[in-house]
A and B are shown apart, each in its own frame.
Chain A
Amino acid sequence: MTMAGGPGPGGVRGGIEVSGVRRAFGDVLAVDDISLTARPGEVTALIGPNGSGKTTLLLMLASLLVPDSGTISIDGHDPVTEPEQVRARIGWMPDGFGTWDALTVREVLETIAAAYRIPAAQAHARVEALLHTVHLADLAERRARVLSRGQKQRLGLARALINDPSVLLLDEPASGLDPRSRIELRDVLRSLAEQGKTVLVSSHILTELQEVADRAVIVARGRSIQSQRLDDGFAASALASWRLDSLDPERLADFLQRIEVPARPVPGGMLEVEAAGEESAAQLLADLVREGIRVTAFTPSQGALESAYLAATEDRQ
């Protein structure tokens, strides 16, 4: 395996570099102007509303679609002019993974391994290992048709990993997964990033992403709007909403008004306030307690990523 981290041979930077990419289907402008960077060793989240061009972008990254303009580089290779080089390096997991119904789970993976020209003996071991990674070993001899949606998603992930890619392109990998599988997916993605691979994940499930992603790229209407590092500093400084409940609702409302913190009632009888960063939220809670207001609940209503996403896409819905 070639480590994708750091400058590759010839000083070529690894990872994904997209700049000014545009793609239209007839009159429909699917991707207007997207630029992003996904670095080796990091999980990069691609988030945006439905129809914002995420899947089209991934098709272009997966060497299936030619961009109308703009450039793409995957580990220093252009998917349009060097598709072979790119395909050897990527693992692509499409949204709504279709599979050959009549084949068994093992046969699906062995077929893909053969398509990557992996020698049979090596492929056998690789398939066996991947079946355990995605917890499909006990279903290996079952027909792919009988798999549930979540099991198909896991098969799709195994398929994307079979050639030991240095760049992973995952389109909605968590959809249809049960909570345990989601947590396992998160661990798989983290360990892949730790091996120095570039992982690009598109998803709607923001709370999940916040825990796994190092960086988020927000796209809307075919444009990349914001690129955000999701480290501790982000959680400490990002504007987030908190929900409060108290045994003395009137006193709570009075106090908030007095210190000029805007609050709005939300369903369930709670109040919602906005605080910039965890530090100021903690400060607010300390103030409330010192004031003698009997607080029974003080909880984040949205993750920081969710707030950033909503803020960025607010005017575009």
Chain B
Amino acid sequence: MSWHGIRTVAVLELRQRLRASRWAIVLGVWFAIIGVVTVLTNLTLHDPLVDSGPAMYDVVVFFVLGLGMLVVPSLTATSINGDREHGVLATLQTTLLASADIVLGKLLAAWAIAAAFLVTALPFLVWAWFEGGISTGRILISLLVLMLVLAVVCTVGLMFSSLTARPVASAVLTYLALGALVFGTVIGFGLTNFLVTEEETLRVYGIPDDWWDTHNPPVDQNAPAPAAPTQPLEPSRADCTTFERRTDVAHTERIWWMLALNPFVVVADAAPSRPAREAELNAGFTPMRWISAGARDARAGAPHGVQQECYIGTNLQESPDPLADAAARSGPVWPFGLGFLLVSGVGAALVAERRVRTPIRRLPNGTRIA
């Protein structure tokens, strides 16, 4: 393996791809679609009281990720078996290029094209930045994570193209694998939620459930009306006690990892739109923050210790956003998801390298060498 070899293959791939298709048009369409979505987002969510930057930013980043996951597999999912069909892979394999050179070169080329798509979307992220409410650091982190996620998508496509004889099969398998990551994880989380939910006794500090019965008994319609209508009693903080309550508790701390594998969760959680404690004032439409908080809440799982529910009178304002509260209880989930994706990516690259290595001992059915 050498940088020279990787570069040779990458240059070859880029030349092939850039000349074979009309990339200017593809990038133009891509730019136009993202532009339309961004403008619509801006029109819909523009509110003089709220910074519309985070909302625009969330929409654009998710759109780039979603569309990227549709486009990027087409760069690699037919790369190796397509070359085999055209009889050009063996041409490289009989030279001094190592199999790792071929795999990494193809990967680098696909990644560079994915980066070109990202760069095309950059003006809209800059626009969102000008709208205010998001930091430059946040943009850089989410772009970095986005690039890493797209690199993993490239590698998975490359692996499937090395495993199957037909380009159609590898393209379908790649989309299925991505579908499992994006939709499968959410569906799996939703379904297993029932399995980890059980009735438990929680200790709560607050107004006991029977307080209202005791102090404000239901008015008897037949009784004579009281001489002076009494003001119904309001509980005060002094009425808060610690008591036990039977309730359903979902132990999502056992299944949160499914959400963490989702590329959208990884990107959202790596750079949520703003620190949760500032969120109430200018919340707006911030899907990334919601996803991030939801995933962290799932990781926090079932509540521990005594539940604080004594929000009465003066401290009502302190009543926190339950999501933000739970999210604060657990750490970020994206390092786990990104770690998993990167390990999968490395594994996929190793499989592809193994399958491109020659001389071949076992030849799968339907595969041709040259």
Q: How large is the interface on A (under 10, 10 to 19, 20 to 34, 35 or more residues)?
A: 35 or more
Any A CB within 8 A of the CB of B92: yes
- Kindly identify which residue among A60, A87, A94 contacts B95, using a CB–CB cutoff of 8 Å: A87
The answer, among A66, A92, A111, for a CB contact under 8 Å with B360, is: A66
Cβ–Cβ contact A66 & B87, under 8 A: no
Residue contact B91 to A66, C-beta cutoff 8 Å = no
With beta carbons under 8 angstroms apart, the residue of A92, A94, A111, A114 that contacts B87 is A94
User: B11-48 CB contact bits vs A (8 Å, 1 = yes)?
Assistant: 11001100110000000000000000000000000000
Q: Does residue A8 face the partner (Cβ distance < 8 Å to B)?
A: no
Q: Is the CB of A111 within 8 A of B12?
A: yes
B86 part of interface (Cβ distance < 8 Å) = yes
Considering only residues 90-118 of chain B, those with a C-beta below 8 Å from chain A are 90-97
Instruction: Return the chain B residue nearest A162 by Cβ.
Output: B95
Nearest Cβ distance between residue B91 and chain A, in whole angstroms? 7
Residues of the A chain whose Cβ atoms lie less than 8 Å from the Cβ of B88? 98-100
Minimum CB–CB distance for A201 against chain B, Å: 17
Chain B residues whose C-beta falls within 8 Å of the C-beta of A180 in the assembled complex = none
B91 near A65: Cβ-Cβ < 8 Å: no
- The answer, yes or no, to whether A97 is at the interface (CB within 8 Å) is yes
Which residues of chain A have C-beta atoms less than 8 A from B246's C-beta?
A: none
State in angstroms the CA–CA spacing of A76 and B360 once bound together. 21
Contact A62/B16 with A83-B358, A94-B370 known, Cβ cut-off 8 Å: no
Chain B: minimal CB distance from A265 (Å) = 46
* Min C-beta distance of A99 to chain B, whole Å: 6
Residues of A within 8 A of B5 (CB): 115, 117
Judge whether A261 is part of the interface by a CB distance below 8 angstroms. no
Across-interface contacts of B12 in A (CB, < 8 A): 100, 103, 111
Q: CB of B304 within 8 A of chain A?
A: no
A-side contacts of B369, CB under 8 Å? 59, 64-65
CB pair A64 B8 closer than 8 Å: no
Contact A107 B15 (CB under 8 A): yes
Interface size in chain B (residues, C-beta < 8 A):
30
How many A-B Cβ pairs are below 8 Å? 89
Kindly identify which residue among B11, B16, B19, B90 contacts A64, using a CB–CB cutoff of 8 Å. B90
The CA of A72 and the CA of B187, in the complex, are separated in Å by 55
Interface of A, secondary structure class, is loop
Binary CB contact string for chain A from 12 to 48 against chain B (1 if under 8 A, 0 otherwise): 0000000000000110000000000000000000000
Q: Once the chains bind, are A88 and B91 in contact (CB under 8 Å)?
A: no
Among residues of A, the one whose C-beta sits closest to the C-beta of B17 is A102
- Within the assembled complex, what's the spacing in Å between the Cα atoms of A97 and B89? 11
B92 in contact with A94 (CB, 8 Å): no
**B residues within 8 A CB of A94?**
87, 90-91, 370
The answer to the question of A178 belonging to the interface, with a C-beta cut-off of 8 Å to chain B, is no
Given known contacts A64-B358, A64-B370, is B96 in contact with A111 (CB within 8 Å)? no
Q: Check if A64 sits within 8 Å of B4, measured CB to CB.
A: no
Complex partner residue of B16 from A84, A102, A114, CB under 8 angstroms:
A102
Is B363 part of the binding interface, using a Cβ–Cβ cutoff of 8 Å? yes
- Interface-centre pick from A25, A98, A101 (highest chain B CB count, 10 A): A98
Q: Which residues of B contact A (CB under 8 A)?
A: 2, 4-5, 8-9, 11-12, 15-16, 19-20, 86-88, 90-97, 358-361, 363, 365, 369-370
- Chain A residues with CB under 8 Å of chain B are 25-26, 59-60, 62-66, 79-80, 83-84, 87-88, 90, 92, 94, 96-103, 107, 111-112, 114-117, 159, 163
Can you pick out 7 interface pairs between chain A and chain B where the beta carbons lie within 8 Å of each other? A25-B363, A66-B360, A92-B94, A101-B20, A112-B95, A116-B95, A117-B2
Known: A64-B93, A87-B94, A94-B90. 12 other contacts (CB 8 A): A64-B359, A79-B359, A84-B96, A94-B370, A99-B91, A101-B86, A103-B15, A103-B16, A115-B5, A115-B8, A115-B95, A117-B96
